[in-house]
Structure 1
Amino acid sequence: MRIAVAGATGNIGALTVAALERNGHDVVGISRSQGADLVTGEGLDAALTGVEAVIDTTSTETADRDEAVAFFGATTRNLLAVEERAGVRHHVLLSIVGLDRVVGNAHMVGKREQERLVAAGRVPWTIVAATQFHDFAVTLTNWTERDGVATIPPLLVQPIAPADVADVLAEIATGAPQGRYRDVAGPEPQDLVDMARRTNDARGHAVKLVPTWSSVLGVDMAGDVLLPGEGARIAPTTFDEWLTQQVRDR
């Protein structure tokens, strides 16, 4: 089966490409470095020729609401328009658990617009909402660290291994469109501050962690807001198992 992965050079995108190729599929990577620009639409028609399904794993790091909405809006409109012309039969979107419960976060606002466009579009679709990834905590501390000190919000999450997310996306893309799929999460809840501490310790990186809410990750994410809903699909890899593998790969 010929399947395209948008955001193919990113963290989840690259793992999704690998998962599809392991299962014998013909994979088309969509990214600027591979000759297709989702923001402008340049190169998309050629990239999607003969493609039966598209998995969208694109993301942006902007903390500005308008920029997030503009990015996700432009990329999704362009992708769906070309998919319709190319006769793509299935659009699979990676989204986020708790999206509708978080009001102020710019990324969540952009993702809501992305979901809206996919659900209103003419290409049959599946939206897969996943919890935060196992590497989310250390990614945040990398962004905020200054002079050996990093801030991190005291979030309760149920993290999932990036490779497990990729496996789910690859599986769903080969089947029939399902609309809104059930939440996908890791096996157990974790404290984000503790995850950051353990990951940095495992990597031999000394950093002082300061639990702090911010304008980007605020108190509207507290409690069980980011946890999966009832009936969620639980992926197999625990945070401890993922962390052990990270140490082995160092």
Structure 2
Amino acid sequence: MSIDTIAVAGATGRLGRHVVDVLTEQGRQAVPMSRATGVDIVTGEGLDAALTGVDAVIDVASWHASDEAAATEFFRVAARSLHEAGQRAGVRRIVAVSIIGADKATSGFIVSQQVHEAAHLAGPVPVRLLRAAQFHEFVGQLLDWQPGDTAYLPNLPTQLVAARTVAEELVRLAVEPEAGPVQEAPIPEIAGPRREIMAEAGALLGERRGVKVVGIDNPDMPDADLAAAGAFLPGPHAKLAGPTFAEWLEAQG
């Protein structure tokens, strides 16, 4: 039985917009779910109605701030809510996005993904997880957080990936036929085609914005030592897909 009607939790977010676009381009019916569409996956408002007739859910909803405790509670409650409503509606599969290195993190926002993953895997609806690298779009967010002519970004290794590329992989996981266990180990990963330095990527964008980007060797951020050691880089089993950050930036015009 094919999966044609797919609800997207977090449909108006940075990643969710791309997921909706991919589904629409493939001729599938996308059911956008966000507070803007009258669906709250935390309180459950509008959720049962939205999931009526839905074959699968792609969960790309995210917390809007970096606070670890608040993010953890959001992901725990949201995952449980999606599973409970999904089970009532007869949803056959949930696909959820996480972050590469979530299992290694000890503090900060990424730690919340440990709870996010566990809550999904413990739910009654079969789940497929996908861990993704930081998005190309995240570089611009880092600059936005530092208004002015100079921005300070970490000299940390990363393997940036386009949100559109991640969206395409999430849709593939949602619609492909079953092939063995729904959630296998290791959890699949997706990242960009090559290793980059966050500050160097920021400098490319900074040139366009008229912002000088200064690289910081010892950034004051959660798990900076782990990041410097490559803990948040993709593993050997990861799917690597373009474009590179420079190619993506050029395509933005």
- What is the TM-score with the length of structure 2 in the denominator? 0.91
Quote how far apart the aligned CAs of 1:151 are. 2.5
Q: Secondary structure at the match of 1:95?
A: strand
Deviations 1:198-238 (CA, angstroms, capped at 9, x unpaired): 0121x233234352512446323212111111121111322
Q: Percent of counterpart pairs with the same letter?
A: 36
Q: How many residues align?
A: 244
1:200 maps onto 2:206 in alignment: yes
Contact persistence 1:149–1:210 (CA under 8 A): no
Q: Secondary structure at the match of 1:75?
A: helix
The one-letter code of the counterpart of 1:157 is: T
The one-letter code of the counterpart of 1:44 is: L
Instruction: Report the counterpart of residue 222 of structure 1 in structure 2.
Output: 228
Deviations 1:119-170 (CA, angstroms, capped at 9, x unpaired): 1111011000111111222211211x14423222221011111111111111
Instruction: Report the counterpart of residue 31 of structure 1 in structure 2.
Output: 34
Instruction: Report the counterpart of residue 173 of structure 2 in structure 1.
Output: 172
Find the aligned partners of 1:170 and 1:208 in 2 and give their Cα distance: 35
Contact persistence 2:206–2:212 (CA under 8 A): yes
Q: Which runs of 5+ in 1 are unaligned?
A: none
Q: Which runs of 5+ in 2 are unaligned?
A: none
Contact persistence 1:131–1:185 (CA under 8 A): yes
Instruction: Report the counterpart of residue 240 of structure 2 in structure 1.
Output: 234
The one-letter code of the counterpart of 1:241 is: E
- 1:66-145 to structure 2, matched below 5 A, reads 66-105=69-108, 107-143=109-145, 145=146
- 1:30-69 to structure 2, matched below 5 A, reads 30-69=33-72
The one-letter code of the counterpart of 1:9 is: T
Q: Secondary structure at the match of 1:99?
A: coil
RMSD: 1.5
Q: Secondary structure at the match of 2:209?
A: coil
Quote how far apart the aligned CAs of 1:61 are. 3.1
Find the aligned partners of 1:131 and 1:27 in 2 and give their Cα distance: 25
- 1:4-15 to structure 2, matched below 5 A, reads 4-15=7-18
Q: Name which of structure 1's ranges 208-217 and 164-173 shifts more when overlaid on structure 2.
A: 208-217
Find the aligned partners of 2:147 and 2:251 in 1 and give their Cα distance: 27
Find the aligned partners of 2:232 and 2:34 in 1 and give their Cα distance: 29
- What is the TM-score with the length of structure 1 in the denominator? 0.92
Contact persistence 1:68–1:109 (CA under 8 A): no
Find the aligned partners of 1:137 and 1:163 in 2 and give their Cα distance: 15
